Chain A
Amino acid sequence: MTSTASKKEVAESSFEFLHIELVHYLERRHKQVATEHKDDNDLISLETPYTKLELMGFRVGQRLIERMCRDHPRFNDNLEIIKYICKEVWNELFKKQIDNLRTNHRGIFVLLDNRFRWLLHTSPNSANTEPKEYANYVAFACGILRGVLANLGIESTVKADVTTLPACTFTISIQS
């Protein structure tokens, strides 16, 4: 198989359905396990849905980048890698580029996506006044970013903030 072979495509909605159901499944499972163990005196460590999603994303990111940049020449520095993520990786995942990239030139990169696709179909929870918890819907993406970076030799932490829907900021902190 050559890299020019036409890429197979599936509907993006297939992925979105799967992703939403994954979040729901992990939330259901978490509640269930927490209830089963609520009488245990010894505190069992429970992996939160966020942790699991992030870790799953990490593995997906690793595999994805392995296949994506097979024929890409070696990257010269971190900024080049981040730029590649903002353009190519984002395009692969979301058919668009990151809208804004900022950095403090000391290992922190802030990526802004004005219309983050995985949040397009979520709506604010009008029934209660508390801000809806979006963390679980962006955890997978954070994991993907961390996985992509890890496979390119960069250890990092990634967190996302949802301020106004459907915009999302990803903050990458590179460990020196």
Chain B
Amino acid sequence: MAAKHVRMGEAALSKVDKINSEVLTFTYGAIVTQLIKDYEDIEEVNKQLENMGYNIGLRLIDELIAKSGIGRCADFRETAEVISKIGFKMFLGISPAIVNWNGEYSEFSLLIDENPLTEFVELPEQYRGLHFSNLICGVIRGAMETLQMKIECKFVKDQLRGDDTTELRVILKEIMADEVPVGYGE
């Protein structure tokens, strides 16, 4: 199963136009700086980053499906593969390792050791509470919500904050039932 997703991710990556990752890195850095200026409160900055990511996720999922041709996932384990090997691969050129499944296969972690968003970044002491890449959490949540999965996503470890790895925890909360869109009911 894994090999298939690796192939699909690489095929999708080869299909999309690419730019030098530094443009993205610098722009993202400028956004975080701007948010800190706008809100001053680090918790609020984390929230805003997540929210921006959520808005992006809602739109980005269309491109992922269109460019990769991926169909419906059989289970959440396959979903994890798709997030790492296709989603991350296609948009950021990386595929984080999937580790630490829980017993019910409803929670896993992504180990992000090479993150284009955090290149050249060092967090000053007073910003230790900042989840610098929190936008990614929002992207995953937004993208998954479009596919009717309620997800909770958070950084539990972060190299920028002195941890040995960067670990993103993804928790499946609920699979929402198919609902008739507003206006289509009898």
Residues of A within 8 A of B (CB): 7-15, 17-19, 21-22, 24-26, 29, 52, 56-57, 59-60, 63-64, 67, 92-93, 95, 140
Contacts and interface: CB of A to CB of B under 8 A. Distances in A.
B6 interface: no
- Main secondary structure on chain A at its contact with chain B? helix
Contacts of B56: 17-18, 21
Interface string B22-35: 11101110110110
Given A17-B59, A17-B60, A18-B56, A9 B19 contact: yes
A63 B26 CA distance: 7
Interface of B: 13, 16-24, 26-28, 30-31, 33-34, 38, 48, 52, 55-56, 59-60, 63, 90-93, 116, 135
B21 to A, nearest CB: 4
B91 A11 contact: yes
A13 B68 CA distance: 14
Given A10-B91, A64-B22, A56 B31 contact: yes
Contacts, number: 95
A118 to B, nearest CB: 12
A29 B48 CA distance: 11
A93 B19 contact: yes
Contacts of A63: 22, 26
13 contacts: A10-B24, A10-B93, A11-B17, A11-B93, A13-B63, A15-B23, A17-B60, A18-B24, A18-B56, A22-B27, A59-B33, A93-B19, A93-B23
